[in-house]
Amino acid sequence: MKVKNTFVIILFLSLFTIITSKAQEDQINLIAFKYNGQSQTSDIIKWNIETPETFTTTSSNVTGILVGTSIFNGSTGDFIARVTQNDGVSGIFKYNANTQTTSFNEATSFFNGSAECDMQTGFVYNYDGNNQNEVELNKYDPETNQLTIIGTFNFAPNTSFFPDGSCFDSNTGMYYFVMQDNEGKKLVAVPINAAEFTYTETLLTGLPITGNIGLEFSNESNSIYCIYSSYNPQTQSSTFVVGNLDAASGAIAVVNTLDTIGGYQFYNRTFDQNTKKLLFVAYDVAFTTPKLYLYDIETNTYETRALPGENVLEIECNNFEYSALKYGQLNTPAFTTNNLVIYQDIAAKAILFSKNVAKSNFQIVNMQGAIVSAGQVSSANAIDASTLQSGVYIVSVVVDSKRVDKKLILK
């Protein structure tokens, strides 16, 4: 009997593990622009990979999108891109996936196609040219719209670059991108937290790279993954390659070659940190309807899913919950107002504030974007959290006519 019971327990645990893994996989949520032919603008859409037909829509005034500029700020839940609105003004567009609110700031710099976001600070890093034809590394604060020039690269005049050919290591604060000079294609690595501006150039080796190369970084495996096409002059055909790039040596190890793919949209690529899946939009060899490809880095296999429309641009994974659980609260003063801290008192089943905000209006939003609690902060400077389940929330409070949004993990 004991053996039988043990078998049942093991079977139950195995089934539980499978169900849990499947549930986690099903939580791959995406966000993107979707062209609206009636208004000739692009709406913001959110959907789960398993149910693309039930996407949610938020309208916008965006008429043009600079390809390859989108990022998802995992620390704040903001989907950010360089756009042009229907009034002809160009700037930085933000949509918060948690509160479903939008904002727009006229650009202070040319936010180009190799922008990456640090999950620990929320800062956006990108390289860009200046008036002296020099290439600079910029740090952009999307909360204040402030740009800081970190340093200037000493590249040769004939250096070329690859749109969206970059990635960011949020564990160590390393910004990577690919450029090309007379010696070949190189990986540029910049430690953004270094006391002085410095960088390295490492020549890439492996299968010949034809056209654009895209990079993605896994903060779990601490690995750089790349996708590109490689042309074989002997067979006069191109092969779609998924590779693992060694930052130290520049060697690209082929993870898989996908001969069934005829081409891909380099600007429609993202990485789900939780499941370690590389997602991209590609066509089969017949170049029929594009599909969403989910490449599993751990198993070297892929699946396809339907897209919520034909004109879906700048797809990004919603890695907000992953960022909150891995890195916690933002560690930069740019996201605080008067050093306000919001925290949980588990014993009192309450949410407390480090400064007096009594009688201030608040609302609490869950990961599905639903408002689960709203009202005024009590005279005890607290919010009752007894009815809230464990999980990640956005707590918003209006202080001195300014709304402050904070991530909070309730246990």
pLDDT tier at 28, thresholds 50, 70, 90? very high
Which residue bears the tokens 């727009």? 104
For the segment 223-245, the average pLDDT, to the nearest whole number, is 88
The residues near 254 (Cβ < 8 Å, ≥ 6 apart) are 206, 207, 241, 242, 243
Q: Give pLDDT tens digits for 172-222.
A: 999 999 999 999 999 999 999 898 999 999 999 998 898 889 999 999 999
- Predicted local confidence at residue 201, as pLDDT: 97
- Predicted local confidence at residue 107, as pLDDT: 67
d(CA 345, CA 312): 43
- Predicted local confidence at residue 52, as pLDDT: 94
- The DSSP annotation for 99-124 comes to T--EEEEE-SS---S--EE-TTT--E
- Predicted local confidence at residue 8, as pLDDT: 44
CA dihedral 163, 71, 24, 390 (to 10 degrees): 160
Q: Give pLDDT tens digits for 103-125.
A: 888 865 555 668 999 998 899 99
pTM over 0.85: no
Which residue bears the tokens 């897209």? 307
Would you call 274 exposed, middle or buried from its count of C-beta atoms within 10 A (0-12, 13-18, 19+)? middle
- Helix, strand and coil content of the chain, in percent to the nearest 5, comes to 10, 50, 40
- Predicted local confidence at residue 18, as pLDDT: 42
Asked if the model's pLDDT at residue 2 lies above 80, the reply is no
For the segment 347-365, the average pLDDT, to the nearest whole number, is 84
Q: Give pLDDT tens digits for 247-294.
A: 999 999 999 998 888 888 888 999 999 999 999 999 988 888 899 999
Asked if the model's pLDDT at residue 157 lies above 70, the reply is yes
